Amino acid sequence: MAGSFVFEAESRKVLGRGHSRRVRQVGRVPAILYGGSAEPIGLTLDHNKVLKALENDATYSHILTLRFDGKEETAILKDLQRHPSRPIIMHMDFQRVSEAQKVKVHVPIHFLNQETSVGAKKGGVITHNLVDVEVICLPARLPEFIEVDMAKVEVGQSVHLSDLKLPPGVEIVELLHGSEHDQVVAAIQAGRVASDSAADEG
């Protein structure tokens, strides 16, 4: 599994839009590695291998290894620019990480027991307000995803950020700004079946 998170790269000395265009023309993705006490480094990566790696959701929320110039650096994928209409990665931003420094990362949300939830059985419609959540933690604590169990959610009920069960040492960035930032993650709203049955009972 760990091998999925190793990116082979080459350093590039020349930066700029024109050079990035030429890099893409030969099947590579321009990238930048920044953060920590070291200077930013320009990189290029094999486009097809990047696309393959991005098929794994965990790539977006995992500690990655970048290999270039005979050395390795650990990083997280901080930003990704895609072509608006074609399956092309235009640019990648990597941020260095150290074991002792907390990182902020968007982690995907996995929803469990949706079809069998109490509300869904009554004809409710499940809506997702969020598909990922930004967390802050030490790299070693970083979860690949956060689970949301919808099993006991009734029609008309919502799951908020504060309801999420987090691993030890992991905090949700939004909640650090105060309780007014306790966003809705998912809800079960009355569907047509639920509404019709309520009308019949009335």
Supply the pLDDT for residue 173.
97
CATH architecture of residue range(s) 103-201: Beta Complex (2.170)
Q: In the CATH hierarchy, which fold is given to the domain comprising 2-96? A: Ribosomal Protein L25; Chain P (2.40.240)
Q: Spell out the domain ranges in the chain.
A: 2-96, 103-201
Supply the pLDDT for residue 198.
47
What whole-number distance in Å separates Cα of residue 77 and Cα of residue 63? 8
Supply the pLDDT for residue 114.
95
Supply the pLDDT for residue 199.
47
Supply the pLDDT for residue 194.
45
Which residues make Cβ contacts (< 8 Å) with residue 28, sequence separation at least 6?
Answer: 10, 44, 45, 46, 47
Supply the pLDDT for residue 195.
46
Q: Look up the pTM and report it.
A: 0.76
Contact 76, 65 (CB under 8 A): no
What whole-number distance in Å separates Cα of residue 28 and Cα of residue 44? 6
What whole-number distance in Å separates Cα of residue 20 and Cα of residue 31? 9
Supply the pLDDT for residue 97.
92
Tell me which H or E stretch contains 53: helix 47-54
Per-residue pLDDT of the chain (202 residues; tens, 9 = 90+): 334 589 999 998 766 676 788 888 899 999 999 988 889 999 999 999 999 999 888 888 889 999 999 999 999 999 999 999 998 999 999 999 988 889 999 999 999 999 999 999 999 999 999 999 999 999 989 998 999 999 999 999 999 999 999 999 999 999 999 999 999 999 999 976 444 444 454 4
Q: Residue 190 corresponds to which tokens in the numbers above?
A: 């009355």
Supply the pLDDT for residue 124.
94
Tell me which H or E stretch contains 26: none
Supply the pLDDT for residue 197.
47
